[in-house]
């Protein structure tokens, strides 16, 4: 192959260092804004004509949380049919056994996202303590897996998942914007040997939130959920390599200008179930274009189904039940469930 060089042109003005810097800044800003403006109408024009009953039905309110302050999060189901979720401001992890709601742990360090590993250990994003922990559910022992990076405490860990190799991926926010003053908004990976790697960071991502991995372990999905104007409110997809690295970033679906997703889970066919939207505005730039409820999104980024939830603020969901066709949803003061026609990814059922 011949490479043809452009002939020199003495009439063309030389590019100064200042011009080059300006071009780099402009290009960087364009990349940062691309995720928001791509499909700028968000999902508002995709609700009409949905065949939602093909995916979701039979919404039930299972329990109502009656603490003085309530913001429920992080549902995760164990191998015995119990559902655990968090009330962040009350510093509690709660347990629903199918009949009654009890407190599993007081002083939870403002735990947010929860996730069961295959051996039945419970992972927790303890935002108040700025750490990720593992609880041995047989002994009650709590082990700290990560609490600092680059000499600074983590920004509050928010949500997490794991891959087939046992690596843990978690989102961390809100952080600072200057990495010399602390840790920025980021996504990290904890390897089985305990090493911590920062995979994504501000300003390449804005406000990372829910995070899941596809059934074939080849794609990592990340929710961006920044409430400020001109920030990302979408789901990003990345190729996930066998060594746990990420590449080929793309925008799967955009929620801007409405409220983005918060948490999500994934079914055995690779469809995402995303907790997103608001019943009423909340003094941010978020509009009501995104309806409040569970959004079923295909691996190609198409909105397939939607089922509205009863109150603000819907935050997260997970699969459970004997057939993995029950979707548990944390929604304001309510723990609700709905039936799905497709079971969740098999790893949502711990082995112990």
Q: How many helices (H) and strands (E) does the chain have?
A: 1, 26
pLDDT tens profile 141-192: 999 999 999 999 999 999 999 999 999 999 999 999 999 999 999 999 999 9
Cα–Cα dist 217/208, whole Å: 20
Q: What is the pLDDT of residue 6?
A: 36
How far apart are alpha carbons 98 and 322 in whole angstroms?
12
From the list 83, 82, 103, the residue with the least C-alpha distance to 92 is 103
Q: Is residue 244 very low, low, confident or very high in pLDDT (cuts 50, 70, 90)? A: very high
Assigned domain for 37 exists: no
Q: What is the number of structural domains in the chain?
A: 1
Q: Which domain holds residue 83?
A: 43-348
- Residue 313 pLDDT exceeds 50: yes
Give the CATH number, domain containing residue 139: 2.120.10.30
| Residues in CB range of 42: below 8 A, 6 or more apart | 233, 254, 255, 256, 257, 258, 289, 290
Per-residue pLDDT of 198-239, as tens digits, reads 999 999 999 999 999 999 999 999 999 999 999 999 999 999
Work out the pLDDT band at 24, boundaries 50, 70, 90. very low
Question: According to the model, what pLDDT value does residue 41 have?
Answer: 59
Domain annotation covers residue 10: no
**pLDDT of 312 over the 60 cut:** yes
- Which three-class secondary structure state does DSSP give residue 101? strand
What average pLDDT does the segment 76-103 reach? 98
Domain assignment present for 32: no
Distance CA 34, CA 155 (A): 25
Q: How confident is the model at residue 35 (pLDDT cuts 50, 70, 90)?
A: low
pLDDT at residue 42, rounded to an integer = 81
**Residue 33: inside a domain:** no
Full strand arrangement of the beta sheet holding 101-106: 72-77, 83-87, 92-96, 101-106
Is the residue at 107 inside a domain?
yes
What's the predicted TM-score (pTM) here?
A: 0.90
The answer on pLDDT for 17 being more than 60 is no
29, part of any domain: no
Mean pLDDT throughout 17-44? Answer: 50
Residue 4 lies in a domain: no
For residue 91 the two structure tokens come to 């510093």
- Three-state secondary structure of 115-148: EECCCCCEEEEECCCCEEEEECCCCCCEEEEECE
Count, residues in the chain: 352
Residue 54 lies in a domain: yes
Identify the weakest region by mean pLDDT among 23-27, 36-40, 202-206, 328-332: 23-27
Q: What does the alpha-carbon distance between residue 233 and residue 236 come to, in Å, rounded to a whole number?
A: 10
């Amino acid at each position: 192959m011949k490479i043809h060089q452009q002939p020199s042109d003495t009439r063309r003005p030389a590019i100064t260092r200042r011009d080059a810097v300006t071009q780099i800044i402009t290009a960087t800003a364009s990349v940062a804004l691309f995720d928001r403006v791509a499909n700028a109408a968000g999902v508002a024009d995709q609700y009409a004509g949905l065949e939602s009953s093909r995916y979701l039905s039979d919404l039930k309110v299972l329990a109502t949380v009656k603490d003085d302050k309530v913001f429920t999060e992080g549902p995760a189901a164990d191998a015995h049919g119990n559902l655990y979720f968090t009330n962040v401001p009350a510093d509690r992890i709660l347990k629903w056994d199918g009949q009654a709601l009890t407190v599993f742990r007081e002083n939870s360090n403002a735990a947010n996202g929860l996730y069961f590993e295959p051996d039945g250990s419970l992972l927790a994003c303890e935002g108040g303590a700025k750490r990720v922990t593992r609880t041995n559910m047989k002994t009650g022992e709590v082990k700290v897996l990560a609490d600092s990076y680059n000499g600074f405490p983590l920004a509050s860990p928010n949500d997490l998942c794991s891959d087939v190799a046992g690596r843990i991926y978690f989102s961390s926010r809100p952080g600072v914007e200057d990495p010399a003053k602390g840790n920025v908004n980021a996504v990290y990976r904890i390897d089985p040997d305990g090493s911590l790697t920062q995979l994504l960071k501000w300003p390449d991502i804005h406000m990372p939130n829910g995070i899941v991995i596809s059934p074939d372990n080849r794609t990592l999905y990340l929710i961006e959920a920044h409430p400020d104007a001109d920030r990302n409110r979408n789901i990003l997809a990345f190729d996930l390599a066998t060594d746990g690295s990420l590449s080929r970033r793309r925008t799967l679906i955009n929620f801007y200008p409405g409220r983005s997703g918060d948490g999500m889970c994934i079914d055995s066919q690779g469809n995402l179930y995303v907790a997103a939207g608001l019943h009423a505005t909340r003094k941010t730039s978020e509009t009501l274009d995104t309806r409040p409820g569970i959004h079923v999104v295909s691996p190609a980024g198409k909105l397939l189904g939607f089922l509205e939830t009863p109150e603000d603020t819907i935050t997260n969901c997970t699969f459970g039940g004997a057939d993995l066709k029950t979707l548990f949803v944390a929604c304001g003061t309510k723990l609700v469930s709905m039936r799905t026609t497709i079971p969740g990814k098999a790893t949502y059922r711990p082995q112990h």
